[in-house]
Amino acid sequence: MGLSLYDTMSREKRVFEPADPKRVTMYVCGPTVYNHAHIGNFRAAVVFDLLYRVLRHQFGADHVVYARNFTDIDDKIIKASNETGQAISEITKKYADIYKQETAAFGVLAPTLEPRATGHIGEMISLVERLVADGFAYEAEGHVLFAVDRYKDYGKLSNVNRDEMLAGARVEVAPYKESPADFVLWKPSKAEEPGWESPWGRGRPGWHLECSAMIEKTLGETIDIHGGGQDLRFPHHENEIAQSACAHHGAPLARFWVHNGFLKMGSDKMSKSLGNVVLPRDLLKKWWGEDLRFALLSAHYRQPLEWTEELLEQSKRQLDRFYRVLAEAPDVPAAKPPQSIILALDDDLNTPEAIAGLHELRDIAAQMEGEAKVRAIASLKAAGNLMGFFEQDPEVRLKRIITSRTNTGSVNVVQGGDTVVATGVLEVVPGLTEANIDALIAERAAARKAKNFARADEIRDDLAARGVIIEDGPQGATWRRG
Ligand code: AMP
Ligand code: ZN
């Protein structure tokens, strides 16, 4: 039957059928690049990466176009530039690069397209011109505003009513607005602020406009899937819908609207304003990116997820158990993903069920012998790969063969004799290199052979105290870091 997705607009789970299976289009609102993203911001990156992988699997890797933008012009960026004295372009390049590196460490594939708002100012102006010409927008004191009353379906996605819309500080009240709910498409820039020439004077785009223009340019008038965090439903997505539908003679902006739930600290949303944020860059000093990805996918994407140390420890422990089985046939290529995993993911990305399925596959593989074991491991690997897991070398992961650190949140590890950069940074016990451990294990084997069990046990206990676990097997002792 294929993938079903919960569509926020129709409020039901529906079978996903793209307009053109040869060109499936997805757009996700990306970060505003003026500082470090927090792990809550990364939930969307990881969830929509999973959806991207599932779509590529169903429709073919060449038939999915995924665009995720960078908002690189925004009042928060201007403020950061004023505060730090750094040029806007320097700030946005720096944080966009960091975002790409850090999401890659989480196993997030690069989207097909990564449009930047400042690269699409012409398209934004053209969109506003059409809205003004058709009477959906009006100019007032150098601003261009969208007249919400002229779009009859306004509010359908989030179901906000007029009173809620106007309550609180979420809608900016300004004297030049015809109605307080009207929102800014274009605003004037002061001499010292960044700006572009336009029919309404020198100015800059409003945030909502940026996404509508980039979607139109990169993907088309109606896309298959539009995604983002659930807080973006109103006003951001309502405004994108209004702008795009009115510029496109009523054509809907997206056929499916997909929203992920919040990451929480205790009972609060993780957010900069509450000051309870945890940064991927700090987490990557202690955990593999894959542990963090596993943690983010451990709950269903529409449910809230509480971020705790316990969740991270559990995620690491579970992945280590998978890798201990994968290490038994490290070079076997992934087979086809088994149906159980595909069915779970096809059910609105049911990751808890998919992860339970991975555990079952692991138990089967662990019990098998010989060729059957190799086949079971190939199947387990394929199942994990579909979700963006098990892409590390089991040896590297379990032994943490780290040679040096880079200052960008990655480590150099030795793999097959070559030094490669791995994702994730882990603390290693100083002075306890792979060679040291191998030497101690050889010494222990010699001590056992000589029946010097006291020394053999001493070595084992000493290594255990330093986080190295020895496992005696039929082929001798192997080790991993705990
Ligand atoms: P903000 O940093 O609040 O401007 O949010 C930027 C993006 O991250 C938006 O798309 C939000 O939906 C998302 N976001 C912010 N905080 C969280 C959170 N705690 N959990 C999930 N998504 C979040
Ligand atoms: Zn957007």
Each residue's pLDDT tens digit, 153-205: 999 999 987 666 666 545 677 888 999 889 999 999 999 999 999 999 999 99
Extract the tokens encoding 153. Answer: 């379906």
The alpha carbon of 208 and the centre of ligand 2 are apart by a number of angstroms equal to: 6
Q: What is the pLDDT of residue 162?
A: 65
The alpha carbon of 243 and the centre of ligand 2 are apart by a number of angstroms equal to: 12
Q: What is the pLDDT of residue 481?
A: 81
Q: Alpha-carbon distance 137 to 135, whole Å?
A: 6
What confidence category does residue 437 fall into, taking pLDDT thresholds of 50, 70 and 90?
A: confident
Would you say residue 57 has pLDDT above 60? yes
Q: What is the pLDDT of residue 471?
A: 87
Q: What is the pLDDT of residue 171?
A: 63
- Going by the DSSP 8-state scheme, the letter that residue 107 receives in this structure is T
The alpha carbon of 363 and the centre of ligand 2 are apart by a number of angstroms equal to: 42
Q: Alpha-carbon distance 454 to 257, whole Å?
A: 65
Extract the tokens encoding 315. Answer: 């995620």
Would you say residue 307 has pLDDT above 90? yes
Q: How many CB atoms lie within 10 A of CB 310?
A: 9
Rounded mean pLDDT of 88-104? 95
Would you say residue 423 has pLDDT above 60? no
The alpha carbon of 431 and the centre of ligand 2 are apart by a number of angstroms equal to: 49
Each residue's pLDDT tens digit, 359-417: 999 999 999 999 999 999 999 999 999 999 999 888 878 876 655 555 554 555 543 44
Q: Environment class of residue 142 by beta-carbon count within 10 Å: exposed (0-12), middle (13-18) or buried (19+)?
A: middle
The alpha carbon of 180 and the centre of ligand 1 are apart by a number of angstroms equal to: 25
**Nearest CA residue ID for atom 14, ligand 1:** 41
- Report the nearest atom of ligand 1 relative to the CA of 305: 20
Give yes or no for a contact between 207 and 240, defined as CB atoms under 8 angstroms apart. Answer: no
Q: Candidates 231, 234, 274: which one to mutate for ligand 1, based on the most atoms within 8 Å of Cβ? A: 231
Q: What is the pLDDT of residue 324?
A: 94
Helix (H, G, I), strand (E, B) or coil at 229: strand
> What's the N-to-C CA distance of the chain in angstroms?
42
Question: Which is more confident, 469 or 59?
Answer: 59
Which residues 6+ apart lie within 8 Å of 127 measured at CB? 209, 212, 213, 216, 243, 247
What confidence category does residue 428 fall into, taking pLDDT thresholds of 50, 70 and 90?
A: very low
Would you say residue 419 has pLDDT above 80? no
Give the lowest-confidence range in 6-10, 54-58, 178-182, 251-255.
Answer: 178-182
Q: Alpha-carbon distance 190 to 195, whole Å?
A: 8
The alpha carbon of 379 and the centre of ligand 1 are apart by a number of angstroms equal to: 35
Ligand nearest to the CA of 206: 2
Percent of the chain surpassing pLDDT 70: 91
Rounded mean pLDDT of 73-79? 96
Q: What is the pLDDT of residue 402?
A: 55
Which residues 6+ apart lie within 8 Å of 271 measured at CB? 40, 277
Give yes or no for a contact between 284 and 409, defined as CB atoms under 8 angstroms apart. Answer: yes
The alpha carbon of 41 and the centre of ligand 1 are apart by a number of angstroms equal to: 5
Q: What is the pLDDT of residue 214?
A: 98
Ligand nearest to the CA of 257: 2
Q: Walk across the sheet containing 305-306 and list its strands.
A: 268-269, 263-265, 305-306
Rounded mean pLDDT of 343-363? 98
Beta bridge partners of 5: 14
**Nearest CA residue ID for atom 17, ligand 1:** 40
Q: What is the pLDDT of residue 37?
A: 96
Extract the tokens encoding 90. Answer: 């320097």
Q: What is the pLDDT of residue 170?
A: 57
Which residues 6+ apart lie within 8 Å of 311 measured at CB? 295, 298
Rounded mean pLDDT of 409-436? 52
Show the CA angle centred on residue 254, arms to residues 252 and 260, nearest 5°.
140
- Report the nearest atom of ligand 1 relative to the CA of 261: 21
The alpha carbon of 246 and the centre of ligand 1 are apart by a number of angstroms equal to: 28
Would you say residue 424 has pLDDT above 70? no
**Nearest CA residue ID for atom 4, ligand 1:** 32
Residue identified by tokens 């999401």 is 103
Would you say residue 45 has pLDDT above 60? yes
Extract the tokens encoding 333. Answer: 């290529």
Ligand nearest to the CA of 276: 1
Rounded mean pLDDT of 264-272? 95
- Report the nearest atom of ligand 1 relative to the CA of 44: 22
Ligand nearest to the CA of 117: 2
Rounded mean pLDDT of 131-142? 97
Mean pLDDT in the chain?
91
Q: Alpha-carbon distance 401 to 435, whole Å?
A: 10
| Residues flanking ligand 1, CB < 6 Å | 29, 40-41, 43-44, 228-229, 231-232, 262-263, 269-272
